[in-house]
């Protein structure tokens, strides 16, 4: 289904992946997803892997997210990470109010709202999680719980900021359990959240805000979930830890054109296999005949083993047509696959050329600070990631307004900044 809102698929790696493992994962994702322009892809590694992952994806179509941050900007907050520190690694998104933090760190809606405000003040896009427990659902309290979390977590957030906030509906009973909400259950809650956004803000916020679904999203259920009118992406936990499954979730969420091409190829391959099986049976049926040979199966004697030569019996006629269809299908499939891999090669070459063109401008001994983050006044943030026009592979559409700050000549060395 075509949507006005651009889909966003984010991987929450939680407390998984050493730096080396994180790099392996993100390199695999880059390789598999280089051609994806249709949606936003975000990875949220643990803090310890942010710097290396950021370097790896700096010129790719994959964006960086963090899993949490402090509501404070600086100071005596042992063990906390401020938004500005995340920005040093070109983090763009931050997951806030995940159910695991609400549950284990007892994060309240009020605290989450302060974090959401701090994220916006630093021009980070918060991904605000809401969702009911199984008990809530069984007690018929799903909407009341979700409404309370939504209202509380967005308290004090302006209309402009709300449009730049991503909501993740994550039913707690579906997280890490293998139980996915049915697409109808998820759609119902997403529609409810959208209606609440309208009453909290206005119709434009409701229309533009992206609402992700999270909870055991897998390659097999991604397409069905994403086809729902109010589901604008996924927040993926377990399945984001594997190159293949996260790539498949991303690819299965795109509709059209890649899926269409894959469906056509899949369908033609299926027909080809069926025709091939029929051909083999037909040939075997005709082999015991006198003067048997492959040529007989195609309508002629052994010396006339050319498709269709002298075909006379009905069986030989059928075999001849099957052989023709087989050849035509094989040619069509080769052409389609060549088109697909040629497209992939072209994009890979473009990416390689971009990487090669990237030459270090500052000596390693002279660290250069990133530009200071632009703090956008609340309510006036540029609208991004909302439309469906095409974009460069390394610049997902809708993100032009949030181009990462480029390393600048060192005027004041910042020892914390590794972009040098
Ligand atoms: C999550 O923790 O945000 C999540 C959705 O996890 P999983 O996909 O493993 O259910």
Least confident of 4-18, 154-168, 237-251, 379-393: 379-393
Both 239 and 267 in one domain: the answer is no
CA 174 to centroid of ligand 1, rounded, Å: 8
pLDDT at 349: 53
More confident: 96 or 316: 96
Both 233 and 317 in one domain: the answer is no
Q: Name every residue whose Cβ is closer than 8 Å to that of residue 164 and which is 6 or more positions away in sequence.
A: 120, 125, 381, 383, 384
Q: Is residue 326 part of a domain?
A: yes
pLDDT, tens digit, 9 for 90 and up, residues 208-220: 999 999 999 999 9
Q: Above 80 in pLDDT, residue 4?
A: yes
Q: Above 50 in pLDDT, residue 191?
A: yes
Both 87 and 47 in one domain: the answer is yes
In angstroms, the CA 196 to CA 194 distance is 5
The tokens of 137 are what? 């659902």
Confidence of residue 195 (pLDDT cuts 50, 70, 90): very high
Average pLDDT, integer, range 223-237 = 97
Both 251 and 290 in one domain: the answer is no
pLDDT, tens digit, 9 for 90 and up, residues 285-315: 776 665 555 555 565 554 455 455 555 677 7
Q: Is residue 408 part of a domain?
A: no
Q: Name every residue whose Cβ is closer than 8 Å to that of residue 15 and which is 6 or more positions away in sequence.
A: 46
More confident: 123 or 274: 123
User: From the alpha carbon of 100, which atom of ligand 1 is closest?
Assistant: 2
CA 389 to centroid of ligand 1, rounded, Å: 30
236 lines ligand 1 (CB under 6 A): yes
Q: Above 90 in pLDDT, residue 137?
A: yes
Both 24 and 156 in one domain: the answer is yes
User: From the alpha carbon of 178, which atom of ligand 1 is closest?
Assistant: 10
More confident: 324 or 154: 154
Q: Is residue 123 part of a domain?
A: yes
181 lines ligand 1 (CB under 6 A): no
324 lines ligand 1 (CB under 6 A): no
Q: Is residue 412 part of a domain?
A: no
237 lines ligand 1 (CB under 6 A): yes
CA 176 to centroid of ligand 1, rounded, Å: 5
233 lines ligand 1 (CB under 6 A): no
Pair 184, 233: CB distance under 8 Å: no
User: From the alpha carbon of 170, which atom of ligand 1 is closest?
Assistant: 5
Alpha helices (H) along 228-374? 243-253, 258-286, 294-297, 314-357
pLDDT at 310: 55
- Average pLDDT of the chain is 81
Residue 204 burial (C-beta neighbours within 10 Å; 0-12, 13-18, 19+):
middle
Q: Which of 98, 120, 132, 147 is catalytic?
A: 98
217 lines ligand 1 (CB under 6 A): yes
Active site residue 386: no
pLDDT at 304: 56
Both 266 and 331 in one domain: the answer is yes
Both 279 and 246 in one domain: the answer is no
- Among 333, 357, 381, residue at a domain's last position: 357
pLDDT at 277: 86
Number of domains making up the chain: 2
- Pairing type for strands 211-214 and 62-66 reads unpaired
CA 76 to centroid of ligand 1, rounded, Å: 32
- Among 228, 255, 282, residue at a domain's last position: 255
User: From the alpha carbon of 175, which atom of ligand 1 is closest?
Assistant: 10
Active site residue 98: yes
Both 65 and 159 in one domain: the answer is yes
Pair 51, 418: CB distance under 8 Å: yes
Give, using CA atoms, the residue closest to atom 8 of ligand 1.
Answer: 237
Q: Is residue 319 part of a domain?
A: yes
> b/e map of 152-180 (b: 16 or more CB within 10 Å)?
bbbeebbebbbbbbbbbbbbbbbbeeeeb
Average pLDDT, integer, range 96-112 = 98
pTM, two decimal places: 0.68
235 lines ligand 1 (CB under 6 A): yes
Pair 391, 105: CB distance under 8 Å: no
Residue 181 burial (C-beta neighbours within 10 Å; 0-12, 13-18, 19+):
buried
Which one of 129, 216, 225, 242 would you pick to mutate in the ligand 1 pocket, going by the greatest count of ligand atoms within 8 A of its CB? Answer: 216
175 lines ligand 1 (CB under 6 A): yes
Q: Above 90 in pLDDT, residue 96?
A: yes
pLDDT at 313: 76
pLDDT at 338: 59
- Among 357, 377, 393, residue at a domain's last position: 357
pLDDT at 303: 46
Both 247 and 280 in one domain: the answer is no
Both 218 and 74 in one domain: the answer is yes
Q: Distance from CA of residue 390 to its chain's centroid?
A: 16
Q: Is residue 54 part of a domain?
A: yes
Task: Give the CATH number of the domain where residue 129 resides.
Answer: 3.20.20.70
User: From the alpha carbon of 129, which atom of ligand 1 is closest?
Assistant: 3
CA 123 to centroid of ligand 1, rounded, Å: 25
In angstroms, the CA 55 to CA 30 distance is 12
Q: Above 70 in pLDDT, residue 390?
A: no
Average pLDDT, integer, range 355-360 = 50
Both 343 and 312 in one domain: the answer is yes
Both 144 and 277 in one domain: the answer is no
Confidence of residue 417 (pLDDT cuts 50, 70, 90): very low
Element (H, E) at 22: helix 19-33
Domain range holding 301?
261-357
Average pLDDT, integer, range 324-346 = 69
Alpha helices (H) along 105-158? 109-121, 134-138, 142-153
Q: Is residue 380 part of a domain?
A: no
Q: Is residue 373 part of a domain?
A: no
More confident: 325 or 36: 36
């Amino acid at each position: 289904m075509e949507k006005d809102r651009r889909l966003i698929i984010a991987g929450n790696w939680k407390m998984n992946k050493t730096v080396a493992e994180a790099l392996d994962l993100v390199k695999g994702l880059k390789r598999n997803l280089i051609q994806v322009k249709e949606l936003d892809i975000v990875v949220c590694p643990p803090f310890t892997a942010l710097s290396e992952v950021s370097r790896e994806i700096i010129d790719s179509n994959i964006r960086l997210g963090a899993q949490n941050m402090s509501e404070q900007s600086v100071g005596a907050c042992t063990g906390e990470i401020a938004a500005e520190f995340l920005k040093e690694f070109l983090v763009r998104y931050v997951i806030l109010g995940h159910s695991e933090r609400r549950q284990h760190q007892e994060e309240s809606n009020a605290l989450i709202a302060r974090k959401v405000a701090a994220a916006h003040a630093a021009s980070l896009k918060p991904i605000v999680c809401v969702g009911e427990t199984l008990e809530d659902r069984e007690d018929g309290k799903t909407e009341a719980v979700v409404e309370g979390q939504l209202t509380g977590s967005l308290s004090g957030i302006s209309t402009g900021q709300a449009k730049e906030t991503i909501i993740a509906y994550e039913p707690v009973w579906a997280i890490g359990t293998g139980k996915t909400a049915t697409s109808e259950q998820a759609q119902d809650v997403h529609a409810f959240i959208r209606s609440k956004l309208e009453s909290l803000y206005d119709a434009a916020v409701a229309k533009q805000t992206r609402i992700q679904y999270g909870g055991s999203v897998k390659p097999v259920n991604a397409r069905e979930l994403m086809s729902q009118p109010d589901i604008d992406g996924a927040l993926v936990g377990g399945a984001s830890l594997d190159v293949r499954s996260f790539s498949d979730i991303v690819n299965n969420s795109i509709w059209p054109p890649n899926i269409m091409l894959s469906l056509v190829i899949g369908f033609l391959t299926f027909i080809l296999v069926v025709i091939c099986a029929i051909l083999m049976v037909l040939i075997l049926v005709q082999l015991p005949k006198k003067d048997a040979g492959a040529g007989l199966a195609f309508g002629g004697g052994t010396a006339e083993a050319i498709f269709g030569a002298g075909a006379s019996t009905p069986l030989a006629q059928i075999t001849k047509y099957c052989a023709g269809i087989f050849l035509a299908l094989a040619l069509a499939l080769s052409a389609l696959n060549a088109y697909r891999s040629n497209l992939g090669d072209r994009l890979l070459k473009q990416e390689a050329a971009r990487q090669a063109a990237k030459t270090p401008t500052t000596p390693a001994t002279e660290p250069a600070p990133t530009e200071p983050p632009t703090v956008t006044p609340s309510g006036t943030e540029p609208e991004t990631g909302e439309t469906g026009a095409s974009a460069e592979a390394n610049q997902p559409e809708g993100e032009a307004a949030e181009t990462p700050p480029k390393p600048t000549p060192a005027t004041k060395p910042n020892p914390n900044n590794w972009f040098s």
